[in-house]
Chain A
Amino acid sequence: MIGIVAANHYLQPIESDASLPSLEADLRELCREPFRRIDRFIQLALLGSARCIAGQTLRPECGIYLGSGLGPIGNNIVTQQQLIRDREIPKPFNFINTLGSSAGFYVAKNLGLSGQNLFISRRRASMEAVLNLALADLLRGVVEQALVGLVEEVALPLAVHRQRQDLPATQVLAEGSHWLLLQSGQQTARQLRLHRFDELSTLENFLFGSWMQGDCLCCASGMERSAEQRLQRQFPGCIVSAWDCAFHDSLDAAWLTEFAIGDRPGQLFVVNGNSMRGWVLFQLGA
């Protein structure tokens, strides 16, 4: 049994090229100490994780499982411009922050954690990858608590950021930092279960057997589109699509976190996969 002890997030559509919203006032309030030489990706990670664990007691050995599709893209752009355009050696903190593990380092430092600290990526499915790893460690008893976060940053200008990701010119973009605190053997209001299916029909049968009034199904943004359309026919009016709102690469994490925070009845199912590698279903319910 894996319980969701806490959940919270930051999700902000970015619709103007003027500037990105400042996070510094929130960070001053939430962080134990002011961190210097951190970039926006680290700021987003600090903000989301601190909101999530507010009021909770963490074990020092709690694992951090941070996922992202694009990683610290703003800092990577600055570093590459220093290097290629300006023909300069990158500044040390810019270079160090190109590594995804820097964000997890600052989250651990802020929360006083010394356990496993991972940075994982899987394009359009980073949530699935980090949750798989966190659940594996919780189930094996490697950790008793897992702090799971998905962080995505926007780099201005927006048109270039869309171009970089091959997104349509009309796609609204968002920044996000979505976090769950999971604990093994913990009876909580929300439980998280992982199911794997080789065949889509088997997954559908499972859903029919588990479905209750008020349940909701989310198709992850990396999911095979024909399968999503098939599920839409099977569960009309019950499906939310990651493409319908402001987008970032780990948007399925926004659905999961939002549902975990709220007190709405019913279950949330998040499905991902394709017909070759099979199907993964996260069931968030009572």
Chain B
Amino acid sequence: MAGAYIRGVGLSCALGENPEQCASAMQKMQVGPIDLQLDDFHEPLRMPYYRIPDDADLFEGSRFERILPPVARMAVERAGLSAAEICRLPLFIGSSCFSIGLSESHYAAALSAHPDTAMPMPLCGGYQLIAAIIQQALGIDGDVYTYNTACTASANAMLGALRMLKLGWYQHALVIGAELANRTTLAGFSGLQIVAQRLQPFDAARAGIVLGEGIGAVVLSAYVGSDSDLRIIGGASNCDTWGVTTANPDGNSVAAVLNQALADAHIRSDQVYGIKAHGTATPMGDTAEAIGIRRIFSKTPPVTVIKPYIGHTLGACSVNELVLFAGALERGFIPATPGFETPDAALDLNPATTHGAAPDGCYLLNHFGFGGNNVVLVLEKNAS
């Protein structure tokens, strides 16, 4: 088997509640983070945030149970799997938050009711919450692989699914990326002082990340579905121990994982038509990525960053951005990168400011995360 076909997708993010709505909004370059203020702390927090436009309180405990099943169901239904195939569908889940938002709510309620005996960190399903909700809602009882590798979690989930499909251990796999708002993440990143007021990937004035939430789902299959013409044909993952929060700005580990991904997909760098960069817009992160890319490509192919449309959805970003990027490719365009205005001469990497053409061919999907995790996937358009 040469790859894994993208056979069904689902998505709910700041742009909308299904892939078509989101792709259409992206095509119109609708970018709209909200102004989020948190008064829960001694020092109130204020930051832009890309939220899913539901009517609920942002931290309401049941949002996972309400938003997640329709997204997963959308992907599975579009994949056209039989009831028996759905029942044994393995789940590959990538997230940064898991049940932490629910756990915060339960602990806060317990503290309010019984301050002396309140148990901190109730599990509320823990790492298994997302899988349990999907299994119950869709009647799935297959193997579960839950990845917690920070911002590369759903990219690693995708890679794990791809490798098991290639081995023939499974015929189909449901890959989920899930990130919903929670206080730990918002306050934690604020404490790291890398949250910016505006997302400007690879820009000379870039100042950091803007967070967002989103839930995406992809059904990968060992064989082609009805109208699928996109497939993941390879990928690689490595670890850079230069620093726990960023890759080495010399670009070495980024270049290494790009090379490994190209080799795994059996393609050369001159066969890559475009790159969906990770583009967190942190000064160091973008430096490492830009220098790594330039080491591999004598002439850099078109580069785009999806995060200005939906924010940085952390462990879910790979699946969320894949669904959006795939939607754009199917509509024939490589998305522009809102927020990029002033080139940084030190990076020499300039994402497009207008939508570009998206011909058939290979595209790289970059992901980098805390813990030194680097993951690159290779996507092929018009695979059939």
Residues of A within 8 Å of B40, CB to CB, are: 87
**Residue pair B184, A118 in contact (C-beta under 8 Å):** no
CB of A223 closer than 8 Å to a CB of B:
no
Q: A123 to B125, alpha carbons, bound, how many Å?
A: 9
Known A-B contacts A77-B120, A120-B146, A122-B145; the reply to A108 vs B41 at CB < 8 A is no
Q: Which of B118, B121, B126, B190: most chain A CB closer than 10 A?
A: B121
Q: Which of A18-26, A99-107, A180-188 contacts B (4 or more CB under 8 A)?
A: A99-107
CB distance from B336 to the nearest CB of A (A): 32
Q: How far is the CA of A76 from the CA of B144 in the complex (A)?
A: 23
A121 close to B (CB within 8 Å): yes
Query: Considering the complex, which residues of chain A in the window 78-116 have a beta carbon less than 8 Å from any beta carbon of chain B?
Result: 79-81, 83-85, 87-92, 95-96, 98-102, 104-105, 108-109, 113-116
- Segment of A130-138, A239-247, A253-261 engaged in the interface with chain B: A130-138
Chain B positions 231-278 with a Cβ under 8 Å from a chain A Cβ: 236-241, 244-245, 253, 256, 264
Q: Are A99 and B191 in contact, with the CB atoms below 8 A?
A: no
B241 close to A99 (CB less than 8 A): no
Cross-chain contact of B166 among A87, A140, A164, A277 (Cβ < 8 A)? A140
Among A90, A129, A278, point to the contact of B184 (Cβ < 8 A): A90
Residues of A within 8 A of B103 (CB): 80
B24 interface residue, CB < 8 Å from A?
Answer: no
How far in angstroms is the closest Cβ of chain A from B19?
Answer: 28
Is the interface on chain B under 10, 10 to 19, 20 to 34, or 35 or more residues?
35 or more
A93 to B320, CA, bound (A): 28
CA distance A116 to B264 in the complex (A): 14
B residues within 8 A CB of A73?
121
Are B150 and A101 in contact (CB-based, < 8 A)? yes
A132 & B143 in contact (Cβ 8 Å cutoff): yes
> Do A77 and B121 touch across chains, with their CB atoms under 8 A apart?
yes
Please name all residues of chain B whose beta carbon is closer than 8 Å to the beta carbon of A92 when the two chains form the complex: 191-192
Q: A105-B239, A140-B167 are in contact. Are A122 and B148 (CB under 8 A)?
A: no
- Count of A-B contacts judged by CB separation below 8 Å: 186
Structural contact, B191 and A90, CB atoms closer than 8 A: yes
A105-B148 in contact given A71-B127, A73-B121, A114-B238 (Cβ < 8 Å) = no
On chain A, the number of residues with a Cβ less than 8 Å from chain B's Cβ atoms is 60
A113, B120: Cβ atoms closer than 8 Å: no
- A163 interface residue per 8 A CB criterion: yes
With both chains docked as a complex, state the minimum distance between the C-beta of A253 and any C-beta of chain B, in angstroms: 16
Question: Does the CB pair A114–B42 fall under 8 Å?
Answer: no
Q: Please indicate the chain B residues that have their CB under 8 angstroms from the CB of A88 in the complex.
A: 41-42
A99 and B370 in contact, given A84-B108, A85-B120, A133-B160 (Cβ under 8 angstroms): yes
Report the separation of the CA atoms of residues A277 and B170 in the bound assembly, to the nearest whole angstrom. 12
Residue of A nearest to B43 (CB): A89
Smallest CB–CB gap between A149 and chain B, Å? 14
Residue B221 at the A interface, CB < 8 A?
A: no
Bound: A108/B237 CA distance, A: 14
Q: Please measure, in the bound complex, the distance between the C-alpha atom of A81 and the C-alpha atom of B103, giving whole angstroms.
A: 11
A114–B241 contact, CB under 8 A?
Answer: yes
Determine whether the beta carbon of A163 is less than 8 Å from that of B184.
Answer: no
- Interface mask (A270-284 → B, CB under 8 Å = 1, otherwise 0): 000010111000000
Docked complex Cα distance between A77 and B119 (Å): 9
* Given contact pairs A133-B160, A155-B121, a sample of 19 additional A-B residue pairs in the complex whose CB atoms are under 8 Å apart: A69-B126, A79-B184, A79-B188, A80-B104, A83-B104, A84-B107, A84-B111, A89-B45, A95-B189, A108-B239, A115-B238, A116-B236, A116-B238, A119-B149, A129-B145, A132-B143, A142-B264, A196-B169, A276-B87
Name the 6 nearest CB pairs between A and B, nearest first: A101-B371, A95-B188, A117-B239, A100-B148, A121-B127, A276-B141
| Cβ contacts A to B, 7 pairs, < 8 Å | A61-B238, A80-B103, A84-B104, A89-B43, A109-B241, A137-B163, A155-B121
